[in-house]
């Protein structure tokens, strides 16, 4: 198969009605934080057990079309010796890989950050592909304050994301570009909207400059909300209107799907907000999810590292995936949260 056909096939597998992506690609420090909250030490073995549990969830593929894995997970196996990416494929779930090397300060630009990881990326992708990865993720972050993100940060980060996406497409790997405007701060929803509009505008210009094929690209943005410390939360209809308004201004119709991150929203908020967007008039792209915390939190809480809790954890993950599947169709109602199975 040539590279274009390969990219197209992966897009078709990832973008399916009623389904979305599960982000299970926490870096070592991040998974340690998640495990800490449930009293589990983050050893390689515990991470293997937990991520096997996720991928062994019966019928997870009903609502999950793709899973983003961390490098370590690509090489791990279940108790019976099945490679974890292979287990994903058996479930009808496309395995993907987080390829950025994390963020750090943008030199001489106080308060701004930039993401690293372009050096040797093409060679790393070749190796990941052999291990089963068919798509990739790269996350850049933008801090909202009186002085950030600076124009320089917006342009430099757009350039990094575009270079990453171009390298992925050369290798036949579908790139997910993730520009996350962080929720930290007490800013208004209007401030978040203004920053997000600039960020997305710069990103799609850069993707165009770098000849990235939008039909073979997925966008993973943050939703437009007030800052976490702003006194009032926005209701789902407001989040939906603000988010879709900015996306319509900045994201070309050629892009097949927008898969939101949850970014610190509760599982219920993330589902309700996605649902509200899918209740608006039809959009040029699919509106879906690529949640980490909003899908995994209830499962982690149910598991707590106890072998006897594995089935309860899998049921919690499946239920969350199912509710987000409903939100993909605009059919979620908050009453479903207490309806059980």
Name residues whose C-beta falls within 8 Å of residue 324's C-beta, 6 or more positions apart in sequence.
20, 63, 270, 271, 274, 289, 291, 294, 295, 332
Q: Is 273 in the site for ligand 13P (CB under 6 A)?
A: no
Q: Which of 220, 233, 306, 337 is catalytic?
A: 220
Residue 243 to residue 237: CA distance in whole angstroms: 10
The one among 85, 149, 292, 325 contacting ligand 13P by CB under 6 A: 292
Residue 200 to residue 321: CA distance in whole angstroms: 27
Q: Is 31 in the site for ligand 13P (CB under 6 A)?
A: no
Number of Cβ within 10 Å of residue 324's Cβ equals: 27
**32, burial (CB in 10 Å: exposed 0-12, middle 13-18, buried 19+):** middle
**308, burial (CB in 10 Å: exposed 0-12, middle 13-18, buried 19+):** exposed
Our answer to whether residue 178 is catalytic in this structure is yes
Residue 223 to residue 262: CA distance in whole angstroms: 8
Give 54 or 58: the residue with its C-beta nearer to ligand 13P.
54
The one among 97, 199, 261, 299 contacting ligand 13P by CB under 6 A: 261
1-9, 106-114, 236-244, 261-269 -> range binding ligand 13P (CB under 6 A): 261-269
Give 172 or 292: the residue with its C-beta nearer to ligand 13P.
292
Residues in the chain: 341
Closest distance of CB 320 from ligand 13P, Å: 12
Q: Which residue is nearest to ligand 13P (CB)?
A: 292
Residue 244 to residue 282: CA distance in whole angstroms: 11
The one among 70, 142, 291, 318 contacting ligand 13P by CB under 6 A: 291
11-19, 257-265, 276-284, 307-315 -> range binding ligand 13P (CB under 6 A): 257-265
DSSP 175-225: EEEEEEE---SS--HHHHHHHHHHHHHHHHHHHHHTT--GGG-EE-PPP--
Count of residues that interact with ligand 13P, criterion CB under 6 A: 10
The one among 22, 23, 31, 88 contacting ligand 13P by CB under 6 A: 23
x/- mask, ligand 13P, residues 120-139, rule CB under 6 A, reads -------------------x
**Which residues on adjacent β-strands are paired with residue 114?**
104
Closest distance of CB 268 from ligand 13P, Å: 14
Look at residues 63, 23, 19 and name the one whose alpha carbon lies nearest to residue 287.
19
Our answer to whether residue 220 is catalytic in this structure is yes
Give 62 or 180: the residue with its C-beta nearer to ligand 13P.
180
Q: Is 161 in the site for ligand 13P (CB under 6 A)?
A: no
Q: Which of 113, 178, 269, 286 is catalytic?
A: 178
x/- mask, ligand 13P, residues 69-88, rule CB under 6 A, reads --------------------
**Residues forming the site for ligand 13P (CB under 6 A):** 23, 139, 178, 261-263, 291-294
Catalytic center residues: 178, 220
């Amino acid at each position: 198969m040539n590279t274009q056909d390969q990219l197209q096939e992966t897009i078709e597998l990832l973008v399916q009605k009623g389904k979305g992506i599960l982000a299970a690609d926490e870096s070592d420090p991040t998974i340690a934080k998640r495990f800490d909250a449930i009293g589990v030490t983050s050893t390689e073995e515990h991470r293997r057990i937990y991520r096997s549990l996720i991928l062994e969830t019966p019928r997870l593929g009903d609502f999950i079309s793709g899973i983003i894995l961390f490098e370590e997970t690509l090489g791990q196996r279940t108790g019976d010796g099945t490679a974890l990416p292979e287990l994903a494929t058996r479930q009808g779930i496309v395995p993907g890989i987080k390829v950025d090397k994390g963020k750090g300060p943008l030199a001489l630009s106080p308060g701004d950050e930039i993401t690293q990881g372009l050096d040797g990326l093409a060679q790393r992708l070749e190796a990941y592909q052999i291990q089963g990865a068919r798509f990739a993720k790269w996350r850049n972050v933008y801090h909202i304050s009186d002085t950030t993100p600076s124009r320089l940060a917006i342009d430099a980060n757009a350039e990094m994301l575009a270079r990453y996406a171009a390298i992925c497409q050369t290798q036949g790997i579908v790139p997910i570009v993730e520009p996350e405007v962080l929720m930290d701060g007490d800013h208004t929803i209007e401030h978040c909207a203004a920053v997000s509009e600039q960020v997305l505008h710069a990103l799609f210009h850069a993707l165009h400059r770098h000849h990235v094929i939008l039909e073979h690209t997925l966008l993973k943005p943050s939703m437009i909300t007030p800052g976490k410390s702003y006194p009032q939360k926005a209701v789902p209809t407001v989040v939906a209107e603000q988010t879709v308004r900015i996306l319509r201004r900045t994201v070309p119709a050629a892009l097949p799907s927008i898969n939101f991150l949850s970014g610190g929203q509760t599982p219920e908020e993330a589902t309700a907000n996605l649902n509200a967007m899918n209740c608006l008039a039809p959009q040029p792209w699919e509106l879906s999810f690529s949640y980490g915390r909003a899908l995994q939190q209830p499962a982690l809480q149910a598991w707590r590292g106890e072998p006897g809790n594995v089935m309860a954890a899998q049921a919690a993950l499946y239920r969350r995936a199912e509710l987000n599947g409903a939100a993909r169709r605009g059919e979620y109602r908050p009453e479903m949260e207490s309806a059980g199975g």
